[in-house]
Amino acid sequence: MAKGTRKPKLAVWKFTSCDGCQLTLLDLEEHLLAIADRVDIAYFLEASRATVRGPYDISLVEGSISTPHEEELIRKVRKQSRFLVAIGACATAGGIQALRNFAHVRDFIQLVYAHPEYIRTLAQVRPIADVVPVDFELRGCPISREQLLELLSAYLHGRRPRIPRHSVCMECKRRGTVCIMVARGVPCLGPVTQAGCNALCPSYARGCFGCFGPMDSANPLSLGRRLEDLGLSREDIVRVYRTFNAYASAFREGSETYEQVRGHTRH
């Protein structure tokens, strides 16, 4: 940052979420001083209650839009933000709370709350980009430290962030992890999931859970047939596609197809 120029103002916003993605910003420990040196952290309630009024140059938005109040608030955030980045599975795909989109939210409310009449919520949970225009999305549950740092570096240097949209398999192969599905028969969502975690779970011989959502040309039905061969029931397959990114279109297509064919014979 050249002397005399104003530092870009950064804001961090929370909607329906667990705070894990904004925590990733604090988790950039060794880079925090460099970030604070180049960016004015103007609004970040998880780090400080001291806030600076907008407008903001860059807004990181965590969480999904789940209530009428959040619908209004995100529009205000959009108006105050030059560059708006949705961060994490909730903000980019609705998160785990989007499971309500496959059911009736009223049924949940009746079950959970003693006074359901006090609850104001939307029937459908929506990702940020469904409500306001979004300039960039960082996937993940939670987002990756490295990708957040890359996003900030790219923003500061005026270049496009390097956030690939290919499979997790690319990361397994580049780091030398042997395919656990082929070599051990472990069910894995890696072949339909966007990279970004450096293939963390497969490197511990665990199947990919799909935290980063569907890759850019995911084929959830072909993988589903393979998962059946590996012993998963159709109900299991509905469940593996319905976790953190359940409402992302390719995973939704996967789970809805397997829900429809439930009880019917394959082929």
Question: Interface with another protein by CB under 8 A: which residues?
Answer: 31, 34-35, 38, 149, 152-153, 156-157, 159, 162, 164-167, 169-170, 173-185, 188, 190-192, 205, 215-219, 221-223, 225-226
CB of 188 to another protein, least distance (A): 8
Q: What angle do CA 184, 189, 193 make, to 5 degrees?
A: 140
CB of 182 to another protein, least distance (A): 5
Comparison of 101 and 257: residue with beta carbon closer to another protein: 257
Integer Cα distance of 194 and 168 in angstroms: 6
CB of 95 to another protein, least distance (A): 25
CB of 156 to another protein, least distance (A): 7
Both structure tokens of 241: 């596609």
Comparison of 66 and 194: residue with beta carbon closer to another protein: 194
Comparison of 120 and 231: residue with beta carbon closer to another protein: 231
Question: What's phi and psi for 128, nearest 5 deg?
Answer: -55, -45
**Cα-based torsion angle of the residue sequence 226, 231, 235, 237 in order, rounded to the nearest 10 degrees:** -30
The CA–CA distances, whole Å, from 114 to 14, 109, 110, 118 equal 26, 9, 8, 9
Rg (CA), the chain: 20
Contact 59, 14 (CB under 8 A): no
Beta strand 9-14 with 56-62: parallel, antiparallel or unpaired? parallel
- Backbone φ/ψ region at 53: left (φ over 0), alpha (ψ -120 to 50), beta: beta
SS3 (DSSP) at 81:
strand
Helices and strands (H and E) in the chain: how many: 12, 5
CB of 160 to another protein, least distance (A): 11
CB of 53 to another protein, least distance (A): 26
Comparison of 53 and 160: residue with beta carbon closer to another protein: 160
Residue type, 46: E
CB of 61 to another protein, least distance (A): 21
Comparison of 110 and 217: residue with beta carbon closer to another protein: 217
**Nearest alpha carbon to residue 225 among 165, 184, 181:** 181
Comparison of 69 and 226: residue with beta carbon closer to another protein: 226
Contact 213, 91 (CB under 8 A): no
Comparison of 38 and 78: residue with beta carbon closer to another protein: 38
